[in-house]
Amino acid sequence: MNESTTSPTESNAVTEEQFWAWLQSEVSLPHSLVKALHGQTITYRVERSAVDRLVVEVAATPTADKLAMPIEELCASARITNRLKIYVGNTVGDLIALTEADVLGIRGLSQPSVNEVKRSLRLLGLEFRK
C-alpha cells in the first residue's frame, strides 16, 4: 500500500466517500464493477502481511442489472473474457449458472484465472452455482 494513502482501518470512522477514494486509489478494478458496487452493503478488512491485501465482501442480492452485465465488464483480462465469451455466453448471468469446476474445465483457463473471476463475482455479491 502506498505510504501516502490512508487505509480505512487506520482510523475509527470512515465515510463512504473516503472508502471509495481509498479503494479506487489502491485497487485496479474495471469501472463498471466499481459502479455496480455503489449502493451495496459492503464490509471490508485489510489483512496486514508482507503484502497488504484488501478483502472486500459484498452482501447483496443479484439484480437483473448484475445478471445482464456483459462478461467483458467483469474481468480486466482480455484473455479470460474471450475464453468466457466463447465457452460460456455473454452475460454474468450465463457465468453464474456454472459451477467453479465447469469454468475450470474451459480450455485456456487455469486456477489463477478462475480465482480472478471468482473475486470479481464476489465483489458483485455473486458466486458460481454450487
Query: Rounded to an integer, what distance in angstroms lies between the CA atom of residue 88 and that of residue 48?
Result: 36
pLDDT score recorded for residue 9: 46
DSSP class of residue 6? P
Q: What is the pLDDT of residue 63?
A: 74
Name the CATH architecture for the domain at 64-123. Orthogonal Bundle (1.10)
Contact predicate 99/129, CB 8 Å:
yes
The pTM for the full model equals 0.56
CA distance 11 to 13: 6
Cα separation, 48 vs 41, in Å, equals 23
Tens of pLDDT along the chain (130 residues) come to 333 344 444 444 667 677 767 766 766 666 666 666 666 656 656 566 666 665 655 555 557 778 889 999 888 789 999 999 999 999 999 999 999 999 999 999 999 999 999 989 988 888 998 8
Range(s) within the chain of domains with CATH label 1.10.150.20: 64-123
Task: Specify whether the CB–CB gap between 8 and 22 falls below 8 A.
Answer: yes
